[in-house]
Amino acid sequence: MTNSSTPLARPWMLVVAGGLVMGLALGVRHAQGIFLVPITVDRGWSREAFGFAIALQNLVWGLAQPFTGMIADRFGARRVIAAGLALYGLGLYGMAGADSLAGFNLAAGVGIGAALSATSFGVVYGALSRLVPAGQRSWALGLAGAVGGLGQFFLVPGAQGLIDQLGWMGALGALALLCALLLPCAIPLHDRPGQDPSASSGQSLRAALAEAFGHRGFWLLNFGFLACGFQLAFIASHLPAYVQDKGLSAGTAVAGLATIALANVAGTYVCGLLGGLYRRKHLLCILYLLRAAAMALFVLLPLSPASLYLFCAVMGFLWLGTVPLTNGLVSQVFGVRYITTLFGFVFFGHQLGAFFGVWLGGYVFEATRSYDLIWLSGIALGVIAAALHYPIDDREILRPAVPA
């Protein structure tokens, strides 16, 4: 069992390993948009068809996350992460070889969606929560998220470079190989089932789920996290088209996305640190209100490259700061014995919001030739999310210990 005497070198090693896994998983996902044009042109598919595969990926990721979490809580994160990396590589290879939409949806939507559930926040943060001493937990989650953010920042131009040199099929193959090369990163993330002082209560998984499902704050977290997924998926998928519709260049839009990825590195780390100093539910309230204000100002003020970059810097700083705070809040209230499973259920709300953010963005634009309604929805959801987080009871649940 990890305790306060754990040497500093080991938490650093765990954080770097987990951050690299998340950096690859989230970075490749963040770069999928640059494959849209070459794949649809070569295959003769519509952009809507490509977009459906990515929306399906988000939904499968959310649906799979609770069950992936159960497996990690039962057998340990190391096996799950290794299997996820292997599945990610197979999914990328399948994308390259798919010559039908059914095959592409299976590889990009189902395969990579399931792989993301095993290689991203839920499993990696769950392992770190169990392996790192409680006093260093906020630092570890924040720094791992920052390392993952760097992966997002570097993999976007890296993937574009691979496409330029190898073509889109070769680029997907190279990224699949990278998944295999990162398999050793799963080795240090060897948390053990029951690695939690609260496990002395002898609580079963069924009892933990009943406890969480009966806790009002757990559902408030679920509904609040839906707003996060909606906002981020809409912006990531539709911001380039929005700014080009307003007269800015495609290069300016790409620079805006890169600004988001870079600012996210600092923002995730800072939010993780603040989570160890202040009440996480209050930080989440502030974060959602700041997002709503940033989106409102962006839509109301005249659009220029300067206003775009400022908006992207602010949103990037607030981008994934919700994740270590939300994960930390779940572990704070319910303990870390079943943290991966419980966060998986909360994360489903996030991915449900992401599905609607991507899909409704396109649907509303086709119906109205404007994104205004979706921007207003994102602003309103930010205010609602802040209101939902404030009344959460964030006190730790104390359970009677059962003698060994």
Q: Which two tokens stand for residue 66?
A: 């609770």
* pLDDT in the model for residue 170: 96
- Confirm whether pTM is higher than 0.85: no
Question: What is the Cα gyration radius of the chain?
Answer: 20
Contact 224, 284 (CB under 8 A): yes
Contact 108, 53 (CB under 8 A): yes
* pLDDT in the model for residue 166: 95
* pLDDT in the model for residue 201: 54
**Residue 31: burial class (beta carbons within 10 Å; 0-12, 13-18, 19+):** buried
* pLDDT in the model for residue 261: 84
Q: In angstroms, how far is CA 93 from the centroid of its own chain?
A: 22
* pLDDT in the model for residue 202: 67
* pLDDT in the model for residue 46: 81
Torsion sign across C-alpha atoms 338, 341, 342, 347 = positive
Mean pLDDT by 10 residues, the chain (404 residues): 45 88 89 80 83 87 89 89 97 94 95 95 85 80 82 82 92 96 92 54 80 92 92 85 84 82 87 87 96 96 95 93 87 84 88 86 83 95 95 82 52
* pLDDT in the model for residue 313: 95
DSSP helix/strand/coil, 124: helix
Contact 281, 389 (CB under 8 A): yes
Count CB-CB contacts under 10 A for residue 12.
12
Question: CA nearest 14: which of 147, 142, 131?
Answer: 131
DSSP per-residue letters across 253-314: HHHHHHHHHHHHHHHHHHHHHHTTTS-HHHHHHHHHHHHHHHHHHHHHSPP-HHHHHHHHHH
Give the span between the Cα atoms of 9 and 190, in whole angstroms. 16
* pLDDT in the model for residue 383: 97
Contact 132, 14 (CB under 8 A): yes
Q: How far is CA 288 from CA 116, 119, 201, 385, in A?
A: 25, 26, 35, 7
**Axis crossing angle, helix 372-389 with helix 216-245, rounded to the nearest 10:** 160
Question: CA nearest 84: which of 143, 46, 124?
Answer: 124
CA angle 301, 149, 96 (to 5 degrees): 100
* pLDDT in the model for residue 8: 43
Give the span between the Cα atoms of 252 and 378, in whole angstroms. 23
Give the span between the Cα atoms of 102 and 214, in whole angstroms. 40
**Axis crossing angle, helix 339-368 with helix 216-245, rounded to the nearest 10:** 40
Q: For residue 9, what are the contacts with CB-CB under 8 A and spacing of at least 6?
A: none
Element (H, E) at 342: helix 339-368
Burial 161-180 (b: 16+ CB within 10 A, else e): ebbeeeebbebbbbbbebbe
Give the span between the Cα atoms of 254 and 231, in whole angstroms. 18
Q: Which two tokens stand for residue 205?
A: 């998984």
Q: What are phi and psi of 338, to 5 degrees?
A: -120, 35
